[in-house]
Chain A
Amino acid sequence: KNQVEQSPQSLIILEGKNCTLQCNYTVSPFSNLRWYKQDTGRGPVSLTIMTFSENTKSNGRYTATLDADTKQSSLHITASQLSDSASYICVVSLNTGFQKLVFGTGTRLLVSP
C-alpha cells in the first residue's frame, strides 16, 4: 500500500532555532517528492519538489533532502520565524500516466517567541 509517514506529529521550537522534519514513504512507482506548507485555515502552498536524481533543494530558509535508496526525506528550517508556524506536509507523486499524489498527515510546527 502506498503510504507517506511523517514525524514528529507536532513540534514546538523557540524563535530563531533550527528544526528538522522527517518523512518516510513506501510509494511505487516513485516520481517526485514535494513539501507543502499549510497555514491554519489556508490551502497548502508548495515549498519544494525533488525528483529521483536530486538530493537537496532549497527555498530560502527551507532545505529539503531526499534519499531515494532509503525512501526518506527531511525538511530543515533554519533560523525559524513566528510565521513558520504551520503544518508541513510531505507528498509523494506516483509515476503513473497521470501522476497522482499520496499525502502525509503533516507535522504541526509551532514557533514560540
Chain B
Amino acid sequence: NAGVTQTPKFQVLKTGQSMTLQCAQDMNHNSMYWYRQDPGMGLRLIYYSASEGTTDKGEVPNGYNVSRLNKREFSLRLESAAPSQTSVYFCASSPDSVQPQHFGDGTRLSIL
C-alpha cells in the first residue's frame, strides 16, 4: 500500500522554466491538497481539490496551477518558475476535509 506518491523527489530548475509535480494516491480519497513548506513557516496550502472535478485556491496560489486528472491524481504546475518558489512541496489526501490528511514525502524544488 503506497499511500501518497510524489514525483520527482528532487528537482533543480532555472528561473523561467516550467515543470509539473505529480501526485497520486491509492486510498480512494476524495480530497487532495498541495502545500509548500518553507524554513521557519508552517505548511501553507497552495491549492486543493475537495472532490474529483473541482479545484480551489488556497492561501498561496499565485504562480501555480493544478489539475485533478482523476480521483487518484492531482498535479501542480509551475508555468514560469521564480526563485521565491524554491521550497519543499507536499501533496496530501483525505477521505474528506474532516479526516486526517495523509502526506507524501515531498518534492524538493530549487530554482536558480
Interface residues, chain A, CB within 8 Å of chain B? 4, 31-32, 34, 41-46, 49, 89, 93, 98-106
Contact = CB atoms under 8 A, between A and B. Distances in A.
Closest 10 CB pairs of A and B: A43-B103, A103-B42, A46-B100, A99-B97, A103-B43, A98-B97, A43-B105, A44-B103, A105-B42, A42-B105
Contacts of A98: 48, 50, 56, 97
Interface bin, chain B: 20 to 34
A19 to B, nearest CB: 21
Interface of B: 4, 40-45, 48, 50, 56, 58, 90, 92, 97-98, 100-106
Contacts of B44: 103
A98 B90 CA distance: 19
B6 to A, nearest CB: 8
Contacts of B42: 4, 89, 102-106
Contacts of A4: 42
Contacts of B100: 34, 46, 49
Contacts of B102: 46
A43 B50 CA distance: 20
Contact of B106 (A34, A43, A46, A103): A43
B44 to A, nearest CB: 8
Contacts of A104: 42
A48 B92 CA distance: 17
A31 to B, nearest CB: 7
A75 to B, nearest CB: 15
A43 B92 contact: yes
A46 B101 CA distance: 7
Nearest to A96: B97
Contacts of B98: 31-32, 93, 99
A45 B105 CA distance: 10
Given A43-B105, A43-B106, A101 B45 contact: yes
Contacts of B56: 98
